[in-house]
Amino acid sequence: MNNMETEQKLKVYYDGLCVLCSKEMDHYKRQKGAELISFLDICAKDFDAAKEGVDPIQVHKIMHVRRTDGGLATRVDAFIEIWNVLPKYNRAAKIAKNPFVRKGLDFGYSMFAKVRPFLPRNKAADDCKNSPYCIR
């Protein structure tokens, strides 16, 4: 077993039915450092929120990331965790920690979280049963 297999990966929980969310995660998956991240689609049939230790409603409402230490980061903090792992985004992570910038990011994320259920969905949304966002 090599070193990479024994290391704990950052776990990103994302809505694979949300077109915008999926495009963003697909972008991150192509970046250097992405091999250190597990991307888990919370709308996949085999996703089990209880097994992952996340609230089944909240994980569908706001972005969640499980850090390598086992703790959870949500909202903008979740994105900062992702950006810290991807070298191309390290500077964005540092900038996001500036209190002035952070207030703007928090506001923007709150607005996005409110409109996300109304964004275009992937065709697989017709089969979705385990997300409160499947039913409109």
Task: Quick: pLDDT tens for 43-84.
Answer: 888 899 999 999 999 998 999 999 999 999 999 999 999 999
What architecture (CATH level 2) is domain 8-119?
Answer: 3-Layer(aba) Sandwich (3.40)
For residue 57, how many other CB atoms are within 10 A of its CB?
10
User: For position 120, what pLDDT does the model report?
Assistant: 77
Q: What percent of the chain has pLDDT over 90?
A: 68
Which two structure tokens, joined as six digits, stand for 112? 């996005």
pTM of the prediction? 0.85
Q: Where are the domains of the chain?
A: 8-119
DSSP class of residue 9 equals P
Task: Give the DSSP H or E segment for 10.
Answer: strand 10-14
